[in-house]
Structure 1
Amino acid sequence: MPRTLRITTRNATFQQWQALLGNRNKRHQAGEFLVQGVRPVSLAVEHGWEIRALLTSDAPGMSKWARELIETSGAPRVLLAADLMAELGEKDDETPELLAVVGMPADDPTRISVRPKLLVVVFDRPTTPGNVGTLIRSADAFGAAGVIVTGHAADPYDPRAVRASTGSLFALPVVRLPSHREVVAWAGALGVPVQIVGTDERGPVDIAEHDLTGPTVLAVGNETHGLSTAWREACDQMVRIPITGAASSLNAASAATVALYEAARQRRPG
């Protein structure tokens, strides 16, 4: 069994974990983040992420799932007072049974596996953590090899993003890069021709009319302003998603989901 530490007061260690919830700088200085929820915690362990600590409540009783996860992960176990666990769990109605402190991987695009039909999604300067998590979830669902977040953007390791991804953050590489330049350089060095396709409501080509079957980087813009001018210039083609009704545009994560579905549809055998 892994070693166990007990915390019953808001000591320095607890305060450090509490800061991971709402302080982006603290997360990145420590190189770790807090994971909430049965599925996200399970997937973090299953996919071999660095589990720095598993936090459990000192309340009596423990499920089979929690016992097995503690035993198989080999991570240090921390027993927290129930009120402290509830605080870190951020739910008013229940105390979580298990939380995980997880190390961040490097922001290195070589973590993304190069496949014959490579599909990578870029989210440029997203402002909402929930949208980042939703896009990651969709990318996982429709077979993308990875997600790249560029520019000054919402943090993929924000608890709201992690929850919205429902654990998909741990199933495929998510990399943060400063700008389009690093993405273009990475794509150009892969040794295969990669097209960069941007989405825009005023794009000249309907997305269903554009060939997405080859190696593709699919770029989606900021929720308010769309893709930056630099990103538009870097794209080989801009495509639109036709919509009707009173809506003026789609939510960025929704647009990415539609585009990912279209790419998956075109790539379907037969």
Structure 2
Amino acid sequence: MARTLRISTRNATFQQWQALLTNRTKRQRAGEFLVQGVRPISLAVERGWEIRAMLVTDGPGLSRWGRDIVDTADAPRAVVAAELMRELGGKDEDAPELLAVVAMPGDDLARVATGPSLLAVVFDRPTTPGNVGTLIRSADAFGAAAVIVTGHAADPYDPKAVRASTGSLFALPVIRVPSHAEVLDWVAEVRDDGVAVQVVGTDERGPVEIAEQDLTGPTLLVIGNETHGLSNAWRDSCDQTVRIPITGAASSLNAAAAGSVALYEAARQRRLA
């Protein structure tokens, strides 16, 4: 049976959990992050992620969902004072019933399932955690095998990114990679294994409309930074660069929105193929 702690003051343990919400360096050093919300916690448990601690609000008994999650996770438990749970859960009023401390998986491109139907997306140097989470959610919805985040980028384990993914972070590999070079080395290995993956960048000045590009084969979609778009290194590395036609007063699409449109177009083509 999992052991139970009691936390009623802002002691060292509470401060460690609080740091997981606000301090990227401490998240990385600990190799864990704090998960808020019913759906994200449920998916983390259902998908077999390592639950390092389950935090339970001190008060009335757990709901049926809460009991099921705690029993299934079988992780060390901490009963935490309601006011402290409100701080950790970002709630101004009601304390969350449960929070979970979850281990980060390794950033290994070998986690990406490759094959003739490969569809994965690269988000290069995103600056906004919410955009990272939104693109992860879209990648999950449209059948992508993975999201690869490259360069100096927002953290997919930031609580804003985790919330924006609405649990999809736990449904597909999300891999952080230092630069485009490591991704291109992986692409070369995939090609050597007989999978003719194409690298397709998105850019408002791309020479080909996205609907005209065949996305039914193995494809790596590359989405650029919110402000500067694709880096020169990625532009030079793409087999093709496509544009999403837009009208109206908008000068461009939000990066996560553009990625979502590109993923939808790939899924649409694949349904019709």
The interval holding the TM-score normalised by the smaller chain is: over 0.9
Aligned residues: 270
Partners of 2:140 and 2:269 lie apart in 1 by 17
Question: 1:97 aligned to 2:100?
Answer: no
Question: 1:262 aligned to 2:265?
Answer: yes
Structure 2 partner of 1:209? 212
Measure how far apart 1:140 and its partner are: 0.1
Measure how far apart 1:269 and its partner are: 4.3
Question: 1:160 aligned to 2:163?
Answer: no
Partners of 1:94 and 1:74 lie apart in 2 by 25
**Corresponding residue SS for 2:39:** helix
Letter in 1 for 2:187: A
Normalised to the residue count of structure 1, the TM-score between the two structures is 0.99
Structure 1 unpaired stretches of 5+ = none
Question: 1:82 aligned to 2:85?
Answer: no
**Corresponding residue SS for 1:49:** coil
Partners of 1:145 and 1:63 lie apart in 2 by 34
Structure 2 partner of 1:175? 175
Check whether the contact 1:123–1:150 (CA below 8 A) recurs between aligned residues.
yes
Check whether the contact 1:195–1:236 (CA below 8 A) recurs between aligned residues.
yes
Partners of 1:183 and 1:263 lie apart in 2 by 20
Letter in 1 for 2:26: K
Structure 2 partner of 1:249? 252
Partners of 2:101 and 2:122 lie apart in 1 by 27
Measure how far apart 1:114 and its partner are: 1.2
**Corresponding residue SS for 2:17:** helix
Structure 1 partner of 2:55? 55
Question: 1:135 aligned to 2:138?
Answer: no
Question: 1:116 aligned to 2:116?
Answer: yes
Structure 2 partner of 1:40? 40
Structure 1 partner of 2:237? 234
Partners of 1:125 and 1:29 lie apart in 2 by 21
Provide, for residues 57-88 of structure 1, a one-character-per-residue CA deviation record: whole Å limited to 9, x for no partner: 00112100001111111111100000010000
Partners of 1:131 and 1:141 lie apart in 2 by 15
**Corresponding residue SS for 1:226:** coil
**Corresponding residue SS for 1:189:** helix
Structure 2 partner of 1:13? 13
Structure 2 partner of 1:68? 68
Check whether the contact 1:2–1:71 (CA below 8 A) recurs between aligned residues.
no
Measure how far apart 1:93 and its partner are: 2.8
Partners of 1:249 and 1:53 lie apart in 2 by 43
Partners of 1:269 and 1:46 lie apart in 2 by 32
CA RMSD of aligned residues (A): 0.8
Letter in 1 for 2:107: D
Q: Alignment partner for residue 197 of structure 1, among 195, 200, 213? A: 200
Provide, for residues 136-156 of structure 1, a one-character-per-residue CA deviation record: whole Å limited to 9, x for no partner: 000000000000000000000
Letter in 2 for 1:174: V
**Corresponding residue SS for 1:268:** helix
Letter in 2 for 1:211: D
